[in-house]
Structure 1
């Protein structure tokens, strides 16, 4: 039988705190939905930053979170759609644009964009 952990999710946008009971073998986002809690998400594949949270306390496991760099993971960011609780946990939702900027911002606004060739018209 799998372990179940208490996960507190602080939803910054709504100013609400949700307390969930999450089995260790279930994704946190999926479990939240099953318990009637609506949290931000988009892809459900760990490839975007819509469901990003910052871990306040506890341990989280996210082997499929390809949308987060190792640096952001080390800073305590996680993607709820592909994250498992490994202890009682407290997390806070993040603004998707803030996380996206942390993740990819260094690649943008670094010089002129070169215009492509015009499309051939029939």
Structure 2
């Protein structure tokens, strides 16, 4: 089976971890099997707990619903659904930082108001 060297700079722990990962295998899962669990939460590519920024190489992350195409194009990835397709060097990111890059433009941009007719308010009391 073909493998690829994947190196993760785990910035929050001050560690650099490197393993051979079988082609097509999820990177997070492979690192766990080899005794080096990395940060994660959902394992479904929906959150940003396992986010990395690619420094060299590329990965296959078709299932990464938690990252916009824009962030993927800027080199961000989610290790839980990322597959090794070649040598890779990446650095872990702060979950809140990536979440803000992903969704920040949609939040905190002013008040959302809705005028509710009095008749509708009356039905809420029932």
Asked if TM exceeds 0.5, the reply is yes
Q: Which residue does the alignment assign to 2:100? A: 101
Aligned residue for 1:88, secondary structure, equals strand
Displacement of 1:8: 0.4
**How far apart, in 2, do the equivalents of 1:7 and 1:74 lie?**
20
TM-score, L = length of structure 2: 0.88
Q: Counterparts of 1:65-104 in structure 2 under 5 Å?
A: 65-104=64-103
1:4 offset after TM fit, Å? 0.1
SS of residue in 1 equivalent to 2:86: coil
Q: Aligned residues, how many?
A: 120
Cα offset, 1:120, TM superposition: 5.0
CA deviation after TM superposition for structure 1 residue 111, in Å: 1.2
Residue ranges of structure 2 left out of the alignment (5+ in a row): none
Q: RMSD of the alignment, in Å?
A: 1.8
Report which of the two has the higher share of helix. Answer: 2
**Distance of aligned partners of 1:120 and 1:3 in 2 relative to their CA distance in 1, 3 Å threshold:** farther
Q: Which moved more, 1:105-114 or 1:37-46?
A: 105-114
